[in-house]
A = this chain, B = another copy of it.
Amino acid sequence: MQAQKDAVQLLKHAGLRVTPQREAILQFLLDYDGHATVDDIYTSLQDRFPSMSVSTVYNTVKQLSQVGLVKEIGVGDGASRFDINVEPHHHLVCTRCGALFDFYLEEPIRLSVPPEAEGFEVEDYHVEVRGVCPRCKKQQVS
């Protein structure tokens, strides 16, 4: 099976031990269309791994994100979400329903740092655009 092998390879290549749980979690994220929360992962894998604990999911996603296989995105309140898309990209967040969409910047940001932060070494940045998604716009009383 191609997909399963991918997860294993990715883990090995990242220098992580390959355990059934890790493989399943990574595979789940690879297949998942969207941005999964820890709970999404945990719940969805209950069938196959009834004994898997939440902390394992937390441990795993934390390590996956440390080795750069996934990206943690924490927008607004509630649970963090995990994104298999590790390319630099950003997010639209619907303030009504919480939906999350990826988007890309047409050009990189240019920032002017204040004197106190002179010399700040930028590692990464993330743009969170808040607004109303098309679906919620339609449902608005007009």
Task: Mark A residues whose CB is within 8 Å of B.
Answer: 74, 76-77, 90, 92, 94-95, 101-107, 109-114, 116-134, 137
- Chain B nearest CB: distance from A131 CB in Å? 4
Pairwise interchain contact A127-B126, C-beta atoms closer than 8 A? yes
Q: Which residue of B lies closest to A129 (CB)?
A: B125
A107-B110, A111-B129, A118-B134 given as contacts; is B95 within 8 A of A123 (CB)? Answer: yes
Determine which residue in A77, A90, A92, A106 has the highest number of CB atoms from chain B within 10 A of its CB, and name it.
Answer: A92
Q: In whole angstroms, what is the CA distance A103 to B113 when docked?
A: 5
Pairwise interchain contact A120-B128, C-beta atoms closer than 8 A? no
Some 7 contacts from A to B, beta carbons below 8 A apart, are A74-B76, A111-B129, A117-B133, A122-B130, A123-B130, A123-B131, A126-B130
Pairwise interchain contact B124-A137, C-beta atoms closer than 8 A? no
